[in-house]
Chains A and B, each alone.
Chain A
């Protein structure tokens, strides 16, 4: 009985992510001389994980559905620039800025989604196109409208409280958003029929459509979700730091893909879990930011990420094979 339940845990998509998380912490404790108290009391990596994780959730869902969105790398600075230009430079009410930032996300998501539905072009190429286009638009737009590549923003107290507060002076309030969004996404993916649709679409799109799933609408919705989540992260950053910068965001492209894959999602679609994506973002953040608490030179963190990604992928592959080929033993 016990053996079977262990097997069941091991076949879950997030098992590999949990294992990687534990392995990285163990590695840092053993070789980096880090004390667990300092690491878990520190805010930097949790903040990093929250920003990454909010983008990773919808992108992970897209990946489960068999698509990819790399335009998020441009959407994060786009979100922060939109709110800063609207509410900072033109001094419109903050609500207009917030709606503007999120609206821009919805718009680009619609473009991505429509192109993905209407053409047979892989979404990697489509979103590469929108990535470059949005990047140029944001850069040129901010220079033409404001004359600078960095725009200050003074958010009113309530907006700061909701989107840009530092709890205990160090934990960004976006962490709470991350938790909440994880719960919502977890519910949608694992407890509603929409979640089943997403898995079905990633597993076999033609069969999914034949079964009556509105795949086109679903795909557009997922693209809208991912680019809106990216502008949300950018918006919160602008409110928190009282200014928006054009640069930054490109790192998110690879960071999200890595954390999702480490979280046990299959790039080709049809397999994954929200808990895994959550743990993947956490693991990535520990590697990337936790290294500052160790004696290890921080330049090695990329090597650890690369090795971890390969290990996670190979591990997930064998777990998945186990999951797919598993047949419960017949009782005598």
Chain B
């Protein structure tokens, strides 16, 4: 109910008193389909998983997963709304965690330095991505595959060179652990709170600030956006730096939670984040989407991914559900978008 009303406040700007119009408006919002999917999935697993799924341990299991993917999915969603992609996050996450672990764990620098270095890695990779996308005119899919391989190779090579192994451990101090790696109540990762913070920030950015309109304009029609005076190149670079930063943040918090960094973590984030964003109703070709939708999409993904363990179903079938859900979401969004585009308000 709570989520419903928050959606409504967004739409209420154009405000119709008629309930029918309001419902119609709701169903044309980008997140309408993802909300339905979320409710359906939640009810499905609540019925099958029973008490355990609805206990706080159940909530913790999928919220922890949702928080980590969610922080990455937000900037990926923004990039997708702007008509771009970023696959390099799969390499940035381990790169950032290894940077923290090497700087603070291996060399013994203060943790603040390590964390800043880790986040810096994300910003640098993001800047390079944005710059290369602007300059080369090559599709961002290819550019970020290139940077993904490069960052992966650099991370592997340098880690083995410096630390002599592909895993580096780090024991965080109590304060850092409390901020980034704590388990609240013994099961809820503190990352969930960070995710909530990121969601609020991104919501403000996309739906309140003028920059948000710029992002939609960029994804809708790049040339017109530039002609309208939007600094498209700076915007693209900023968005890539944002996604690099968020990926690095997840990497840093992973070190604090698991107390060690592995070279080959993070690959799964690439496709998982794209799926969350698409289930959340963002159009891959740009120009449509919402932060609320991305959050719904992430929650849906996490519930399916984790909820399956609370049922008697073979866990591997969870990915079949996700695949089907993805295709369904995409087709439904297709329908809703056509409805939204062709909608004409009835004359009174």
- Residues of A that sit less than 8 Å from B by CB: 115, 119-122, 124-126, 128-137, 139-140, 143-144, 250, 254, 257-258, 261, 267-268, 297, 299-307, 309-310, 313-314, 317
The CA of A115 and the CA of B146, in the complex, are separated in Å by: 29
The CA of A59 and the CA of B187, in the complex, are separated in Å by: 44
Most chain B CB inside 10 Å of its own CB: which residue of A115, A134, A254, A304: A254
Identify the stretch in B7-15, B106-114, B130-138, B193-201 within 8 Å (CB) of chain A at 4 or more residues. Answer: B130-138
Is B138 a contact of A125 with CB atoms below 8 Å?
Answer: no
Q: A128-B274, A128-B326 are in contact. Are A314 and B138 (CB under 8 A)?
A: yes
Interface residue? B56 (CB, 8 A): no
Q: A125-B326, A310-B132, A317-B137 are in contact. Are A303 and B314 (CB under 8 A)?
A: no
Q: A302-B152, A305-B153 are in contact. Are A136 and B318 (CB under 8 A)?
A: yes
A143 interface neighbour in B138, B142, B316, B330, Cβ under 8 Å:
B316
- Residues of B that sit less than 8 Å from A by CB: 132, 136-139, 141-143, 145-154, 156-157, 160-161, 267, 271, 274-275, 278, 284-285, 314, 316-324, 326-327, 330-331, 334
Is A126 a contact of B319 with CB atoms below 8 Å?
Answer: no
B142 interface neighbour in A130, A267, A302, Cβ under 8 Å:
A267
Q: A299-B157, A299-B160 are in contact. Are A132 and B146 (CB under 8 A)?
A: no
B323 interface neighbour in A120, A129, A258, A309, Cβ under 8 Å:
A129
Is A309 a contact of B314 with CB atoms below 8 Å?
Answer: no
A-chain residues with CB within 8 Å of residue B320 when the two chains form the complex: 132-133, 136-137, 140
Is B153 a contact of A302 with CB atoms below 8 Å?
Answer: yes
A-chain residues with CB within 8 Å of residue B152 when the two chains form the complex: 302-303, 306
Contact sample, A vs B, 25 pairs, CB 8 Å cutoff: A121-B330, A125-B330, A128-B274, A130-B323, A131-B271, A132-B271, A132-B322, A132-B323, A133-B322, A134-B323, A135-B319, A136-B316, A139-B319, A303-B149, A303-B150, A303-B152, A303-B153, A303-B157, A306-B151, A309-B145, A310-B147, A310-B150, A313-B136, A313-B142, A317-B136
The CA of A184 and the CA of B147, in the complex, are separated in Å by: 34
Is B153 a contact of A317 with CB atoms below 8 Å?
Answer: no
Is A119 a contact of B157 with CB atoms below 8 Å?
Answer: no
The CA of A53 and the CA of B136, in the complex, are separated in Å by: 27
A267 interface neighbour in B139, B161, B284, B316, Cβ under 8 Å:
B139
B-chain residues with CB within 8 Å of residue A254 when the two chains form the complex: 145, 148-149
The CA of A122 and the CA of B331, in the complex, are separated in Å by: 11
Is B149 a contact of A309 with CB atoms below 8 Å?
Answer: yes
Is B136 a contact of A314 with CB atoms below 8 Å?
Answer: yes
What 16 new A-B contacts, CB under 8 Å, besides A305-B153, A313-B143? A125-B274, A130-B323, A131-B323, A132-B271, A132-B320, A133-B327, A136-B316, A137-B320, A139-B319, A140-B314, A143-B314, A257-B141, A303-B150, A306-B150, A313-B142, A314-B136
